[in-house]
Structure 1
């Protein structure tokens, strides 16, 4: 393919991309250009007709350059404002926006970009400011109010989009809730069947096999807690009793050389919590522990926060079992995915969940603001 054909194909691809974007939201991409053109022509009306000059007098070249500068200025200021508004609305409702400060910053940005641009363009001979400071005053008197109005349009657009996104999010939560309720209705008979089955197994175990009987009892209590307390808050003492039973049950099924170190505060008076938020992290640790078979669990109360951390050793032999892939698997499990969704619903903006790994250990930390 010759060079000119390659250039033609490239131009066609670029034009297709531009048309595709314009077809999705033409105002978003053409709006700044239209506003820049309108602002420049309003400025020309004020400066030319009030002086009894001919409209667009002074040469088409000078005015064309001025028009181009006005359009570019509008695109630059639009980019700045869209990014700023995205940050402002992303922080809501945690941080209440101060509209007055927003508009003061917008005025500062308009004047801080507009005046140096006009000054440099005049000294380069691109535009003509015949009356010196008077024209600078006119430029600011026209552009500042017009672009404050433009900022208001952009802000309202962002606010409407934010409201629409929140409405969609609420509808998704409602749909998920209905789906969950449907699944619970479908599986109502499962707990009864399961407990009856465990009860049958328990009485079939020989009386002398105390370890097996104890395991069935522990499993029954763990399942009962998970099934019947998932939709309501529990005291921290109840949650701790469950966690200790769960850890003991997990230790029974793993190698005897597994070392579990626990550093857990005992005084949790008056603290209630949504249940089963720490269990997925503990389950993850028992599932992926390798190497030195070490698990360290820490659960502390710090004023209004609950700080939980857990680490488990990984395989130290990279040739047999690479550390990084195993760490990635541990980070991307279904348990952690579901935990993140529950935290987002139960403790929005009031939790921190971090996971990371080094060459020998996988770490997880969960902080709840209660």
Structure 2
């Protein structure tokens, strides 16, 4: 039904506009309505309808492609009036020249046609413009509601997930005190694991200083090295300028987890974290097995959650690139912070 009305509006505009011109022209001169040749008036009516469809298409195209990156409303309407004035007079002159439009009393007919056509086209443009703005507003409202719902779901998942780390954290403390003090290595390992869990459990979803996040990542990498081959070559380069900038926690962790998970071949992991042009740039690269049994595709809950968190926490302020090269994986995450 809406599509039908969408295509009926220009037809109605053309019919009403043409008959308004006829009324204003014929009745004051006491002439019969649609006087003279009916076929001539039908042709002129068709011209009015076709021009209305053309204006409808042009107006909607302008609002879709141009208005979003255009100028002020006042300038927009001023240019619209100028465009209508030039277009209407060009059509009237061309129609009169080839004989499909009759401009008997030149000046009066041109004035009447200009006033009626420009007024109707202007009002029609306002209607379709307001309709477009209303649709955009409704879409934005729905998008905001969807984001709110997604954020609530994430918070609920976060609260549900807290139970398991909390239980494990307490269990580790119990095991820690059961280990003899003469065995410092396992006690140190449990301390590292407890520190990691404490950060995840009590860090929440609020912003933290990048220095604190870096300390957590270093502890995590030290913990991972305990179970890795001694052949592992881990190179970490962190910009000294990264100190008090605030970021949301645990955004870099999934990329480091993947690096340790998929490392092979030369067993090399290179991590670089820097501050450039008010952006935190995190890049991690790991070598791959020389003869993997099959192509490894990095897909999982970790990266999916990372993508979703970035969309919610840093809309239009991040970029995430993952490259699967023949001998290495490269992940690059860039985040624009508000207080660098």
> If the length of structure 2 is used for normalisation, what is the TM-score?
0.77
1:358, 1:112 → 2: CA distance?
57
Match of 1:321 in 2: 294
* Deviation of 1:242 (Å): 0.9
1:178, 1:219 → 2: CA distance?
29
Q: Which moved more, 1:29-38 or 1:129-138?
A: 129-138
Structure 2: state its 5+ residue gaps.
Answer: none
- Residue 296 (1) aligns with residue 270 (2): yes
Match of 2:13 in 1: 35
Contact 1:230-1:276 within 8 A present in 2 as well? no
Match of 1:79 in 2: 60
Match of 1:246 in 2: 220
Contact 2:43-2:100 within 8 A present in 1 as well? yes
* Deviation of 1:189 (Å): 4.0
Contact 1:81-1:151 within 8 A present in 2 as well? no
- The number of residue pairs the alignment matches comes to 333
Match of 2:311 in 1: 344
Structure 1: state its 5+ residue gaps.
Answer: 1-21
- Are residues 73 and 241 of structure 1, via their aligned partners in 2, closer, same or farther at CA, if it must alter by over 3 Å? same
2:101, 2:288 → 1: CA distance?
68
Kindly provide the CA deviation profile for residues 285-342 of structure 1, in whole angstroms up to 9, marking residues without a partner as x. Answer: 434445554443322223543233334445666x9534xxx4xx43x54333323333
* Deviation of 1:195 (Å): 0.9
- Are residues 295 and 132 of structure 1, via their aligned partners in 2, closer, same or farther at CA, if it must alter by over 3 Å? farther
Match of 1:162 in 2: 136
Kindly provide the CA deviation profile for residues 133-175 of structure 1, in whole angstroms up to 9, marking residues without a partner as x. Answer: 7755554433333233223223322333333333333433443
1:79, 1:110 → 2: CA distance?
15
Decide which structure has the larger Cα Rg and report it.
2
For residues 1-370 of structure 1, the aligned pairs below 5 Å read 22=1, 26-49=4-27, 54-57=32-35, 58=37, 59-84=40-65, 88=68, 98-107=72-81, 110=84, 127-129=101-103, 138-183=112-157, 186=160, 189-203=163-177, 210-289=184-263, 292-302=266-276, 304-313=278-287, 320-322=293-295, 326=296, 329-330=297-298, 333-349=300-316, 351-357=317-323, 359-360=325-326, 361-370=329-338
Contact 1:65-1:127 within 8 A present in 2 as well? no
- Are residues 67 and 244 of structure 1, via their aligned partners in 2, closer, same or farther at CA, if it must alter by over 3 Å? same
Contact 2:95-2:101 within 8 A present in 1 as well? yes
> If the length of structure 1 is used for normalisation, what is the TM-score?
0.72
Contact 1:355-1:364 within 8 A present in 2 as well? yes
* Deviation of 1:184 (Å): 5.0
Match of 1:14 in 2: none
Q: Which moved more, 1:154-163 or 1:105-114?
A: 105-114
2:152, 2:170 → 1: CA distance?
29
Contact 2:14-2:48 within 8 A present in 1 as well? yes
Kindly provide the CA deviation profile for residues 73-108 of structure 1, in whole angstroms up to 9, marking residues without a partner as x. Answer: 1331243134147x62xx8xxx9x722233234445
